[in-house]
Structure 1
Amino acid sequence: MVLLEELLRCQIQEWYPAFRRHTIPTAILPLPPAFLRYLAGKTAYPNPDASNSDSEGFLPFLLPALASGRTPFPPIDAHLPDPVSLLDRDNSDFFFGYPDCDYDEDHADPLRPAFPELEAAVDAAIADLGGAALPKLNWSAPKDAAFMAADGTARCACFAEVAMLLRSSDCVAHDLVSARSSCQDFVRRPPKDVRPNAQPNDEENSDGAGSKSGAGENCSDGGEQSALDDAPEEDAGHESDEETWVDDGFQYYLALRKWYPGLRPESEFRCFVKGRSLVGVSQRDPSAYYPSLPGWSAEVQPRIEDFFDDVVEPQFASENYTFDVYVRADGRVKLIDFNPWGGYTLPLMFTWEELEQKQAGDELEFRVVMQQGAVRPGLMTAVPYDMLDWGEGSGWDVFLKKADSELNRQLASLDGDS
């Protein structure tokens, strides 16, 4: 199992100041407890006079009230049948917000809390990064929630899109609920005794350094639902865990990483370090065969080894860990992320049993998919299971029948008006 010290060392705000010249620009913002409670499905601003029973249970999934009025979806074309009403216009407006209405702090809906200061900071940071960014928390990006976005990526252009992806993500939920408690030496302390994680330097946070845009972010590393299901039993039975993880003194951050749309997934690799020696390198996306990769890997391997020897190993303190890199067409290597050894980090083309048997001095093993048909299954983190089940009576079946019925009604109404 992972040690807490090793996990904390892999937080982006911990490692990026030392590696900022070797990675991609990132802005890092501290997250207030109210926003963390919102991400956890709790009341963002609980009434201190209310009893605990009044705040039990999870709130419906609604976007925050937006002071800027920038919603995560483009306006609906008035000349076409309204796709929102194919479901339920009233409920959809409640979920996405009311773009025609100004935010009113005095009449805010308690189910749609507002975070105007955070919203302004996020929108400003995204603008400084060129207008688009990939969000992530201390460890994980919401890549498992990309199905929520119109373009199927984790690209965000405003606070509303960031909030939507973070709130939808099991990877983010893992960061908040399970990442620290899954460490073998984690001890839950009363809030007053908790030592918050290290604070990044404010001056370096302004432009930062970070990771590539779309692929390659981890759910410590796995985004699977099992990451939440495998929490230690003693934590699962702790009656105050749901409430104390937000206010136990641990600081969570939002990292906004500059978005580059032209990055190629075959150029990213995961590197495994054991005993401060590079023992394995894997194609980062084992679910696809890239014809150019088997031949190119012979050229890439020495560049990754040099990058490890010259940049990573002298500055990263852990004995055992993984790091992801992106190799540019010109041969330069960019650092993407760090993850702890084992735990929820995916071994990709290896198994952890194989990697544990590696010894310092062993020849570096470089694994890529060598031929079509040899790919490994991808992660089940792309869409909810309901979106994969097309059987009679499934969620999709009900949705499509309702949508078809509503579309026919709208078209019939248009024909009648003409």
Structure 2
Amino acid sequence: MEHNVLIPDHLIPFSFSSWYPRFAHCALKGVVIPLPPEFLAWLSEDGLLMPLECDEGEDSVEWSDEEIGEGGDGDGDGDKAEQDDCPVRPSFPSLSSLILPNLPCVPKMNFSAPVDAVWVNGNSLKCCTLEDVYKLLKSSDFISWDISQGAKDLVLKKYQNLHPSRSFRLWVSSTVHAIEQRDSTTYYPYLLNELESLKTTILSFWEEHVKGKFDGDYVLDVYITKSNKGYIVDFNPYSESTDSYLFTREELEDLKATEVVGDCDFRVVTQEKEVKPSKYSGYRGPIDAVDITGTGFESFKKQCYRPSELYEVEEIDKEEGSELD
């Protein structure tokens, strides 16, 4: 894959490195690390051979010469031949040294998080080690898409214990005309009692921090704490490439055409039967990996389909945790 591709002009404003400097004061914290060409090339290669830096700090077994030679009748040439045939593992010491201080984190690139690859990381986007980061990036088709669009930055978002019920998506043209609950896979009864206050909080946050500061139509993801403080999670293009959770495309277009300043349609899941399957449920482990451990499909499911620590978006944690302040 060629890595001299430039990000299309219409996508540049939605790249994290483009919008974050302007909104860092009211956004979930993150750092941007430019990726070297050799790392981008490695991401595009087949295979899951992890960089050497992933081994640092791990225990290793040392063998004495006596133990190696005991009981054998060969001269060791076979071992040397096997070593010569081993693929050379990549090494990215500079990049690794920049990632380490930011652990634990949630990785993504300019546009996408590797939500399609969470099955390789305990069904979580939370990364506590270098291997976690590299494994998620390497296994993700979403990351490959980012690279094909000219993305060359690694974004490490500070890991936060956030609750998915507090994450919302805003559809914006000249004003906000639709707001929706992002976690449409779960019914949260308490939200029904807070609709008006949440709507007021979300619109006030948008008017104070975003209105007039981002050009054109866009989709904005926000997180609202229980103390009603708002944070920007991400900006997305207003297009069919951006998922809608509780609105149809036709409904969004109608709302956009008839929008009224100061008013919008706010939707949450109002009953259990409205719950929808995860949009990422189709991204799971390869079927030929089932017999790797020799324990069959049920064991494999237990490894790969544990209750999610993280919701399918960047850093939303299913478990109740500390609030941002």
> Which TM-score band applies after superposition, normalised by the shorter structure?
0.7 to 0.9
1:140 alignment partner in structure 2: 112
Instruction: Identify which of 260, 263, 276 aligns with 2:160.
Output: 260
How far apart are residue 251 of structure 1 and its match?
Answer: 5.6
Question: For residues 219-368 of structure 1, what are the structure 2 equivalents within 5 Å?
Answer: 250=150, 252-261=152-161, 263-274=162-173, 276-317=174-215, 319-357=216-254, 358-359=256-257, 360-361=259-260, 363-368=263-268
Long gaps (5+) in structure 2: 1-6, 61-83, 297-325
Q: 1:162 to 1:146 in 2, by over 3 A?
A: same
Instruction: Tell me the TM-score normalised to structure 1 length.
Output: 0.59
**Paired residue secondary structure (1:66):** helix
Q: 1:349 to 1:26 in 2, by over 3 A?
A: same
**Paired residue secondary structure (2:212):** helix
1:168 alignment partner in structure 2: 139
Question: For residues 57-72 of structure 1, what are the structure 2 equivalents within 5 Å?
Answer: 59-66=46-53, 69-70=56-57
> Amino acid of the residue matched to residue 120 of structure 2?
M
Residue 20 (str. 1) matches residue 24 (str. 2): yes
Q: 1:385 to 1:123 in 2, by over 3 A?
A: closer
User: Which whole-Å CA distance do the structure 2 matches of 1:324 and 1:312 have between them?
Assistant: 12
Q: 1:269 to 1:70 in 2, by over 3 A?
A: farther
Q: Is the 8 A contact 1:29 1:253 kept in 2?
A: yes
How far apart are residue 19 of structure 1 and its match?
Answer: 0.6
Q: Is the 8 A contact 2:178 2:264 kept in 1?
A: yes
How far apart are residue 353 of structure 1 and its match?
Answer: 2.0
How far apart are residue 270 of structure 1 and its match?
Answer: 0.4
Residue 149 (str. 1) matches residue 114 (str. 2): no
How far apart are residue 306 of structure 1 and its match?
Answer: 1.1
Q: Is the 8 A contact 1:138 1:255 kept in 2?
A: yes
Can you list the C-alpha shifts for 1:244-273, whole angstroms capped at 9, x where unaligned? xxxxxx561111111012x11000000001
How far apart are residue 337 of structure 1 and its match?
Answer: 0.3
How far apart are residue 146 of structure 1 and its match?
Answer: 1.6
Q: Is the 8 A contact 1:303 1:331 kept in 2?
A: yes
Residue 375 (str. 1) matches residue 275 (str. 2): yes
Percent same amino acid at aligned positions?
30
User: Which whole-Å CA distance do the structure 1 matches of 2:117 and 2:283 have between them?
Assistant: 7
User: Which whole-Å CA distance do the structure 2 matches of 1:33 and 1:385 have between them?
Assistant: 28
Q: Is the 8 A contact 2:54 2:130 kept in 1?
A: no
Instruction: Identify which of 89, 96, 114 aligns with 2:91.
Output: 114
**Paired residue secondary structure (1:314):** coil
User: Which whole-Å CA distance do the structure 1 matches of 2:226 and 2:253 have between them?
Assistant: 32
How far apart are residue 67 of structure 1 and its match?
Answer: 6.8
Instruction: Tell me the TM-score normalised to structure 2 length.
Output: 0.75
Count of equivalent residues: 265
